Amino acid sequence: MPAPEPVRLIAVDIDGTLLDAAGRLPDANREAVRAAAARGIDVVLATGRAFHHARPVAERLDAPVTLIVNNGALVKTRDGETLARRPVPRDLARSLVADTRPWREGAALIFDRSDARQYVHERIDWSHPQRQWYYDRNRVYMTRVEPLETALDDDPVQVAFTGGVAAMRALVDRVRGLPCARRLTVTLTEYEQRDFSLLDVTAEDCSKGAALGDWAARRRVPRAGIMAVGDNLNDLDMLALAGHPVVMGNAVAELKRCGWPLTDGHDEAGLARAIRDRVL
């Protein structure tokens, strides 16, 4: 029997995987990632976060990493160079924004820009306890525009919504029932214990898994040589792509039911354990 393909690329989710419940980067995780990179293994951070929100985490790793952000819409270097992008055509985004007006208080357009027009919103309530910290950290990248449609002078990489779990599930049904739904990808990330969800709408066939597959092909890494670690619904296709999928101990039930290997939770540096066991 041939030996299994060794891990040559590690794709790591950020929230709930690389970071602990308090948003801190455990030393064990940082050291494990650095050790893997030192062995010549490609490290990719694959996240639903926008680039401005993911870049500080990459810098704290102090290791060479590539970033897949906006749930696969952009692939970037840590310095901000765009390596690949899958934007939503602006006419399609305009139609989507118009058809989801009842959810406008949680809606935003995200662009591949480095200035305050990277994140454009109309009337998001930033005093909400699940949003205020994000605004405090990232407001230099944000601009308020009313109505939101007038900001569509370029193709966005993502139309993003935030809100309660029930509201976002209703929005998923709404988006999937639209005539343009076949040209879009809908990704839902839920935090039921906080009654808060993130709904990301990106271009057709855009996901962490699709972007990871394309990037691995560019790096000439076969699927059997990919290790992926994640905890939430937006990690599903990334884990399914990888020859070495690992599910966090704190993962949502849907991932745990897939039968993939489990590691410890994010508060126990489960990522470090997975890298030690399978790579180092």
Whether residues 199 and 105 share a domain: the answer is yes
Residue 198 counted as domain residue: yes
Residue 2 counted as domain residue: no
Whether residues 76 and 215 share a domain: the answer is yes
CATH number at residue 234: 3.40.50.1000
The confidence score (pLDDT) of residue 96 equals: 96
Whether residues 57 and 31 share a domain: the answer is yes
CATH number at residue 124: 3.30.1240.10
Cα distance between residue 238 and residue 234, in whole Å: 8
Describe the chain by its helix, strand, coil percentages, rounded to 5: 40, 20, 35
Q: What is the total residue count of the chain?
A: 280
* Cβ neighbourhood burial of 146 (10 Å; 0-12, 13-18, 19+): exposed
Whether residues 15 and 50 share a domain: the answer is yes
Name the DSSP class of 257. T
**Domain extent at residue 259:** 9-85+207-278
Encode the chain (280 residues) as per-residue pLDDT tens digits: 556 789 999 999 999 999 999 999 999 999 999 999 999 999 999 999 999 999 999 999 989 999 999 999 999 999 999 999 999 999 999 999 999 999 998 999 999 999 999 999 998 989 988 899 999 999 999 999 999 999 999 999 999 999 999 999 999 999 999 999 999 999 988 888 889 999 999 999 999 999 999 999 999 999 999 999 999 999 999 999 999 999 999 999 999 999 999 999 999 999 999 999 999 8
Whether residues 190 and 118 share a domain: the answer is yes
Strand partners, 144: 121
Residue 134 counted as domain residue: yes
The confidence score (pLDDT) of residue 32 equals: 98
Whether residues 212 and 81 share a domain: the answer is yes
DSSP SS3 for 143: strand
Residue 133 counted as domain residue: yes
The confidence score (pLDDT) of residue 190 equals: 86
The confidence score (pLDDT) of residue 120 equals: 96
Whether residues 139 and 244 share a domain: the answer is no
Residue 17 counted as domain residue: yes
The confidence score (pLDDT) of residue 2 equals: 56
Instruction: Kindly report the pTM of this predicted structure.
Output: 0.90
Whether residues 99 and 161 share a domain: the answer is yes
Cα distance between residue 272 and residue 86, in whole Å: 31
The confidence score (pLDDT) of residue 108 equals: 96
Whether residues 100 and 77 share a domain: the answer is no
